[in-house]
Amino acid sequence: MRDPPVNRLLSTLATLSVAAGSLLALPSHALSITSLTPQGEVARVRQIVAKFDQAAVNFGDPKAPAPLSVSCSDAAAGKGTGRWTGEKQWVYDFENDLPPGVRCTVTRIPTFKSGSGAELTGAERYQFNSGGPFVRSVQPSYGKIDEQQLFVLQLSGPATLASVRDNVWCAADGVGERVPVKLIDGADRAALLKSLGNEKAAEKEPLRFVTMQCNRTLTPASKLQIVYGKGVATPSGIANTVERRFNFEVREPFAVSFSCERENAQAACLPLRPMELRFNAPVSRKLASQIELKGGGKTIKPKVDEDNANSDDAVVDSVTFPAPFPEQTQFTITLPAAFQDASARPLAAPQSFPLKTATGLMPPLAKFAASPFGVVERLAEPGGVALMPVTVRRVEPALMVNALTPGKVSDINPQTDAEIIAWYRKVKRYDNSYSVQRKDAAGDVKGPLPKVIDTDNKTSVQTRMLSLLAGQSGVKTLDMPKTDGADPRPFEVVGIPLTPGFHVLEIASQKLGDALLDERYGAGRTMYVRTTALATNLAVHFKLGRENSLAWVTTLDKGKVVANAKVRVSDCRGKEVASGTTDASGIVSLKGISPDAPRCNGADDEDADWGTGAYFVSARARDDKGVEDLAFVWTDWQRGIEPYRFNVPTSLQPEPDRVAHTLFDRTLLRAGETVSM
């Protein structure tokens, strides 16, 4: 007989009920810790992290119990809070980093069960400690130290004085054994900590600050190590297990050094330059000001640094005796009695003073009044000639010898604008540079270049060793006033006569070469001084515009307009851009000139470092006496007279400026009104 459907359904439900009961009766898997950190010795502990092999709680349950308990030897330091950061991770956060010397135990709570009922199994407890005290900072931390230097070691935690004495020492150069340390206490310790601003922190935790010094006087100019060894322990007995060394250098013995500028190492001091005493340790400003320099019947007091001049404890590291001094004069530098540094150390070599020194002759000099370019007013002296001032001293008695030999003044007089521009640019380039590349110099100089004396620098040559005029066609020698006899020229200013026009001037002197050039270049080495000059009675005024430009030519002496002057505008390579002749008002209007002047700094230009974006504007005219005169101006010659200084609106763009103004039908409005504009 077949069972009815209802009986079959009841049978199935009964079977499922039995199966479910069997599942509930199965034992759950045990819960265990897969990792717990930290363990052992760990410095700077702030958190304990425990990770489990399965879900221990329902994540987000605020009432989930802690699986572990934490206890530390320092109850105050061990305060913290536990929390679940996930269903498999529990952390315990300490309120502060654990100080050194703290032991902590993490214990499993036996009654803890997971949400599924799994019991926590495994190790009953875990242990760690925060290690022994280590050095956080040492003072002094840098620089050279005193022979009896005091040190302050700031530790990460308290350390017993006995363990410091036993495990901290000095390792000094030349000493084959450990130098023990001497702990500083009492008033000396208080003063030392106060000087470093540590007195308040040391009052709260005195054992964290070690004040000490090496138990012997250190050797000057030697090396020293402060060794913080293993075994420095906290009061709880936990010791440091890592050795650390701090390096220092003991200062040199107190010494004073003298210096002055000389032509060479064997020469006497230059009378035009100051003399200086330098101290390798600070010296009281009051004591340093008592140093004296005696010579030539005079006593000279030093110039002392004025910083903190009114402070009683002001110190200096040098004094200077200002120049000039008389030539070829013996001097004696005297120190005050009991001269010492700020640490009360006497001079290591007191026999060096009084110190004797001397000045030599004034150095040779040949200097143009203006370089690399100057304008000489041709009619500044009525009835006279234009003169280019040159200051000379101790050079050849006659700076005019046979052509292109040392001790002469050479002159070349370029005529065309292209020649003037080329020479102007070349001299300026040589004046602005101490040296040039040899490959570039080979194209500028006719003749051999100076030999190479520096194997580390074979590609450049000093500009003052090169003559730009030697071998050039059209060069002539100019007369200069001569001195009487064969004595070198005294300090004087002489004039080089110039004809109207543009000149390139160059002085060559072996006296300068002997004094200022390297001896390895050999005897007869020559030094060259150069400039360019324009001797003229004309002035060119130029205004550059977008649509057109304007030039105005006047005389220098009286400011009168110059009619029929030929005006030429060239770019920086000498190519003509525009030209014209001035009218009766001395004015010429010029068109077709771009307001954006070309720059001579392209790769195809021989002076690739020349970056001036300007036009060269020249004017030529004959005066009433038939003398041909020349003047020129670069359009970027406006230093001090720039339009913006006078509130004159300017624009540097070649395109026209567009200025928009908004016109309103009215400016007084109510909220919500419509305005037309």
Taking residues 469-478, what's their average pLDDT? 85
Least Cα distance to 572 among 537, 547, 543, 596 occurs for 596
**Using omega within 30 degrees of 0 as the cis cutoff, is the peptide bond preceding 253 cis?**
no
pLDDT digits (tens, 9 = 90+) for 181-206: 999 999 999 999 999 999 999 999 99
Compute the distance between CA of residue 273 and CA of residue 295 in angstroms, rounded to an integer.
Answer: 16
Question: Which residues are CB-contacts of 648 (< 8 A; sequence separation ≥ 6)?
Answer: none
Compute the distance between CA of residue 111 and CA of residue 595 in angstroms, rounded to an integer.
Answer: 93
- pLDDT band for position 399 (50/70/90)? low
Which domains, ranges and CATH numbers included, belong to the chain?
31-129 (2.60.40.3710), 135-250 (2.60.40.1220), 256-358 (no CATH), 365-535 (no CATH), 538-646 (2.60.40)
CB 91 within 8 A of CB 47: yes
Give me the DSSP letters along 531-593: EEEEEESEEEEEE--SSEEEEEEEETTT--B-TT-EEEEE-TTS-EEEEEE--TTSEEEEES-
Residue 125 pairs with which residues in a beta bridge?
107
Least Cα distance to 291 among 336, 348, 235 occurs for 336
pLDDT digits (tens, 9 = 90+) for 403-430: 222 245 777 788 899 999 999 999 999 9
Compute the distance between CA of residue 36 and CA of residue 123 in angstroms, rounded to an integer.
Answer: 11
412 SS3 class: strand
Compute the distance between CA of residue 243 and CA of residue 436 in angstroms, rounded to an integer.
Answer: 57
Compute the distance between CA of residue 77 and CA of residue 234 in angstroms, rounded to an integer.
Answer: 14
Q: Does the pLDDT value for residue 486 go beyond 60? A: no
* pLDDT for position 292: 96
**Per 3-state DSSP, what percentage of the chain is helix, strand, and coil (rounded to 5)?**
15, 35, 50
Give me the DSSP letters along 200-255: HHHHH-GGGEEEEEESSPPPTT-EEEEEE-TT-B-TTS-B----EEEEEEEPPPP-
Compute the distance between CA of residue 531 and CA of residue 464 in angstroms, rounded to an integer.
Answer: 12
CA distances 564 to 420, 561, 582, 583, 628, Å, are 22, 10, 5, 6, 12
CB 32 within 8 A of CB 15: no
Question: Which residues are CB-contacts of 432 (< 8 A; sequence separation ≥ 6)?
Answer: 372
Least confident of 350-364, 529-543, 647-661: 647-661
Least confident of 25-29, 478-482, 588-592, 661-665: 25-29
Q: Does the pLDDT value for residue 271 go beyond 50? A: yes
Least confident of 122-126, 139-143, 182-186, 279-283: 139-143
Compute the distance between CA of residue 529 and CA of residue 453 in angstroms, rounded to an integer.
Answer: 22
Does an H or E element contain 526, and which?
A: none
pLDDT digits (tens, 9 = 90+) for 603-639: 344 444 445 589 999 999 998 888 999 999 999 998 8
454 SS3 class: coil
Taking residues 162-176, what's their average pLDDT? 93
- pLDDT band for position 286 (50/70/90)? very high
Output the average pLDDT for the chain: 87
Q: How many residues does the chain have?
A: 677
Of the two residues 393 and 536, the one the predictor is more confident about is: 536
* pLDDT for position 485: 55
Report the C-alpha dihedral over residues 568, 569, 571, 577, rounded to 10 degrees: -90
Of the two residues 92 and 490, the one the predictor is more confident about is: 92
* Backbone region of residue 200 per phi and psi (left: phi > 0; alpha: psi in -120 to 50; beta: other values): alpha
- pLDDT band for position 658 (50/70/90)? confident
Quickly count: other Cβ atoms within 10 Å of residue 447's Cβ: 10
Compute the distance between CA of residue 419 and CA of residue 438 in angstroms, rounded to an integer.
Answer: 23
* pLDDT for position 20: 41
Least Cα distance to 150 among 183, 178, 111 occurs for 183
Of the two residues 280 and 602, the one the predictor is more confident about is: 280
CA distances 541 to 67, 554, 616, 637, 639, Å, are 95, 8, 12, 10, 14
Quickly count: other Cβ atoms within 10 Å of residue 415's Cβ: 13
CB 588 within 8 A of CB 620: no
Q: Does the pLDDT value for residue 155 go beyond 80? A: yes
Taking residues 509-538, what's their average pLDDT? 89
- pLDDT band for position 147 (50/70/90)? very high
Least Cα distance to 207 among 241, 246, 160 occurs for 160
